[in-house]
Amino acid sequence: MALLKSSDQGRGGGIAGLVWEVQTATTGTGAEDQVNQRLRVKANSTASVVEVLEPANSKGSRMLQVDRNMWMTKPGLRKPVAISPRQRLTGQAALGDIAATNYAQDYEPRHLRQEKVGDEMCHVLDLVAKNRQTTYDRIIYWVSTRTGLAVRADFLSLSGKRLKSADFEHGNHVRIKGVTIAFVSRMRISDALTDARTALTYSHVLAKPLPTAEFDVANLK
C-alpha cells in the first residue's frame, strides 16, 4: 500500500542512506529504574544499525536489523547475538521502535475508516503482522490524509488488547534526491495501564551514502 510506504519514509523506512540521532527520556512509573540514552541510527532501504553513544557504560553497544532479523553486540561480547525487535530498549521503547520502520513490508494493512485526530484528518489502518519477528503483533495506525505521515499508533496484542500508544511529530526535514521530505522529530510512547511514558527525540538527520558493509552482521562487532 502506497500510503504505508509514504508513512514509513517519515521514520527512515525504504530510504537508501540516512543517519540520525535519538535521545530517550522516560517519566512516570518505573522511570527511576531507566537510563536515558543517546543513540545514532544509520539506515538503508532494508536495514538499520543502532549505536549507543550515551551513557558511557553502554557506549559502543550496537544493534543491527536486516529485514526481520536483529542482532546485538556490546563491549565484552565475543560475537553478536540474535535478539528480538520486541525486546525492551528503555522505558516503553522497544528495540524495533528505534530502528528504521518498514511497516509496508512487515504488516498486512486493512483500511478501516477516516477520522480526525485533533485537527488532522487521518486514514485509520489495521496492520496485522505477517510473522512473529515484528515488533508488534497488530497496530491501529492513524496516517494523515494531508501529509501521508503517521499521527498516532495503538500497539495491540493478537487478541486485540491495547499494550501501548504513540503519537508522532514530524518537525525534521531531509533532502532526498532533490526532494525535501518531512522526518519524525518526536515519538511519545505511553503504557496502556500506567502513567509510564517514553519520549524519543530525533535530531541531526542527514542523507548520505552508506557502505553495505555497515549492515553486515560479520562487521557488527
What confidence tens digit (pLDDT) does each residue in 154-200 have?
999 988 999 999 999 999 999 988 889 999 999 999 999 999 999 99
Domains of the chain: 2-202 (2.50.20.10)
- How far apart are the C-alpha atoms of 175 and 86, rounded to whole Å? 31
| pLDDT-derived band at 204, boundaries 50, 70, 90 | very high
| DSSP three-state, residue 219 | helix
- How far apart are the C-alpha atoms of 38 and 54, rounded to whole Å? 5
> DSSP labels for 12-28?
TTT-SSEEEEEEEEEES
Strand pairing partners for 130? none
Eight-class DSSP state of 100: P
pLDDT tens-place string over residues 120-148: 999 999 999 998 888 899 999 999 999 99
- How far apart are the C-alpha atoms of 96 and 85, rounded to whole Å? 4
- How far apart are the C-alpha atoms of 221 and 215, rounded to whole Å? 11
Regarding pTM above 0.85, the answer is: yes
Question: What percent of the chain shows pLDDT beyond 70?
Answer: 100
What is the structure's pLDDT at 138? 96
Contact predicate 9/190, CB 8 Å: no
